[in-house]
Amino acid sequence: MDKIIDPKVIQQSPTLVVAMILLALVLVASAFRKLNVPVIILSLMIGLIFGSDVLKLIHFNNAHFAKEVANLALMFILFIGGFGTNKETFKPVLKPVMLLATVGVVTTAIITGFIFHLITGWDFLNSLLLGSIISSTDAAAMYAIFRNRPIEAKTRTVLELESVANDPMAIVLTTFVISLVMGKSTNTWLAILNFTWQMVGGVAIGAIVGYVAAYFLNKIRESDTDYFFVYLIAVVLLTYSLADMAKASGLLATFSAGFVMGNSKIPLKNRLLSFSDTLSFITNVALFILLGLLASPKSFSEIWGKGVLVFLIITLVSRPITVFIFTAKAGLTLKQKILIAFAGIRGSVPIVLATYPLAAGLDPEREFFNMIFFTVTLSIILQGTGIFALAKRLKLLSDKKNVEPRILELVTVHDTNYEIVEVYIDDDHYTGSCLISELTLPPGTLIAFVNRRGELIAPSGQVEIVPNDVLTVLVDNKYVDTIHAEIHKSFDRKKTEEDVWGDEYLYE
């Protein structure tokens, strides 16, 4: 295994290794496509394989560099998370999200540390430090795993927003416990004020930058559209930098800026969303490959038992207790709470936090780091792949295709009242047929063409629409939310097993 590639070749051409890693990831992803394995799991595995213990092609042990790359990746991941979050889905879950992201993190850390201390006999403060590091769920993991997967909207929103908001609490708590372990005197009230400012300051700075950025984006709307993408990258970097300089949470600020911009009227929003989504995907892949390279699988033999114990405690005890306590009055069903409790996926942030005791000289043998990495790996693999099976069993994973209209980009920087919408006639839900002339459409609506299994059909009054057709419709934006219902009512609705459950779900 040591001589698969001559080390001299690797030193002379590091780009060759990068190319091999990326090509391997694409080929593996293609091979596992039907299994729906999340990309972060594949990226992590590729990093481990190419690292110092398996193929031994890359020897990477710079935890500080990994931390900086993680912060850079999270900026874009969280910005696109905010950019794609509709404010109407945010409001109903604000209270449970903030509870889980603050006192929920502390509760999870204390329960995990206390149980680990009782079972292993570890020093309590060290156990509490371990619990603090692993206490937050991870935004990068959440967004990568939920990418293009139809988890029930409210559950998904709680999980994603919690993973964004709980990082500041985990950082402050980890720093606080490290000071206790080192015997330094720490002002508890100062720590609380620090945390409060990180949260409030991060949201405020991000919102201000988001509003200003949206305003100026409208002012430069006549510019070449390629500059819009450069502008977006600059906004992300500026937001994080300003918040970081103000000692607020830069990551929370980027989410807040993305949220404000995504809910503002700006030109070419869908193209910017698509660009941001691609950027987020690339940074996710790079981040988890790097974290895989950082790990040393050989050392897992020494800590795997404790790593499994931490995973079991946090997954089966501390996370469920925390979720059920702090979502008691959130209007969530039992099924939603079970899925939220199970889906507390750990990822890059706990690994980054594991470098803190390393940098403070508290982890000379890298026991904390290796244990956290092993626990995170278990979480990503077992929870990352198991969440969809559990969601399907709980009827919280929709098998529906795009039955809602998909808004496409009407490419113009000028103000317009029209949107281009795709309406899919799903044969799992509709039967029958109708002529275009028989449709009752809102005023000013135009069917541009009909896509039937890849064949484009020019519309006329006598063209028959059948299930599986996709209609591309130009519609006034005030009718965007109703156009699908207007078209679908011309077809007979099937009563599926999912619909029967949906009727029951309304009364839970």
Residue 167 belongs to domain with CATH number: 1.20.1530.20
291 touches 380 (CB < 8 A): no
CB burial string 356-374: b at 16+ within 10 A, e below: bbbeeeebeebbbbbbbbb
Same domain, 326 and 416: no
Same domain, 358 and 496: no
- Which helix (H) or strand (E) is 204 found in, with range? helix 188-219
Same domain, 138 and 281: yes
DSSP state of 463: P
Same domain, 363 and 411: no
Distance CA 401, CA 424 (A): 8
The backbone region for 419, taken as left when phi is positive above 0, alpha when psi lies in -120 to 50, beta otherwise, is: beta
Coil, strand or helix at 506: coil
* Matching residue, tokens 């709680």: 158
336, 370, 393 - which closes a domain: 393
| Angle in degrees, CA 246, 250, 255, rounded to 5 | 135
Same domain, 269 and 352: yes
176 touches 217 (CB < 8 A): no
Distance CA 27, CA 339 (A): 31
Instruction: Kindly state the greatest CA–CA separation across the chain.
Output: 82
pLDDT computed for residue 316 by the predictor? 94
Q: Assess if residue 398 is contained within a domain.
A: no
Q: Assess if residue 371 is contained within a domain.
A: yes
Distance CA 24, CA 201 (A): 42
Same domain, 364 and 422: no
CB burial string 240-261: b at 16+ within 10 A, e below: bebbbebebbbbbbbbbbbbbb
337, 365, 393 - which closes a domain: 393
- Which helix (H) or strand (E) is 352 found in, with range? helix 348-353
pLDDT computed for residue 416 by the predictor? 60
Closest CA to 350 of 390, 310, 312, 317: 310
501: its two tokens: 């459950």
Q: Which amino acid is at 417?
A: N
393, 426, 449 - which closes a domain: 393
CB atoms within 10 A of CB 474: 15
Distance CA 134, CA 448 (A): 52
Q: Which amino acid is at 449?
A: F
115 touches 322 (CB < 8 A): no
* Per-residue CA distances from 426 to 414, 449, 503 (Å): 34, 17, 20
Same domain, 315 and 445: no
Same domain, 70 and 213: yes
What is the CATH number for 423?
3.30.70.1450
Coil, strand or helix at 347: coil
Same domain, 192 and 51: yes
Coil, strand or helix at 52: coil
Distance CA 105, CA 350 (A): 12
Distance CA 238, CA 286 (A): 22
* Matching residue, tokens 């609490």: 169
Same domain, 376 and 473: no
455 touches 417 (CB < 8 A): no
Coil, strand or helix at 75: helix
Distance CA 396, CA 389 (A): 10
Residue range(s) defining the domain that contains residue 449? 406-505
DSSP state of 34: G
Q: Assess if residue 436 is contained within a domain.
A: yes
Predicted confidence pLDDT, tens digits, the chain (508 residues): 444 444 454 555 667 777 888 888 888 877 776 666 667 778 888 888 887 777 777 777 776 777 777 778 778 877 877 887 777 777 778 888 889 988 999 999 999 999 999 999 999 999 999 999 999 887 777 777 776 566 777 888 888 888 877 877 787 788 888 888 887 656 667 777 877 888 889 889 999 999 999 998 888 777 777 788 888 889 999 999 999 899 888 888 998 899 899 888 887 777 777 777 777 778 778 878 887 887 777 778 888 899 999 999 999 999 999 999 999 888 888 999 999 999 888 877 788 788 788 777 888 877 888 898 889 888 888 888 788 888 888 888 754 443 444 444 454 545 566 777 888 888 777 888 888 888 888 887 888 888 888 788 888 888 888 888 888 888 887 787 788 888 888 888 765 444 444 444 333 3
Task: Tally the domains of the chain.
Answer: 2
420 forms beta bridges with 408, 474
Same domain, 180 and 277: yes
The backbone region for 465, taken as left when phi is positive above 0, alpha when psi lies in -120 to 50, beta otherwise, is: beta
Termini Cα distance of the chain: 57
Report the predicted TM-score, pTM, of the whole model to 2 decimal places: 0.68
Same domain, 237 and 214: yes
| Residue 146: alpha-carbon gap to chain centroid | 6
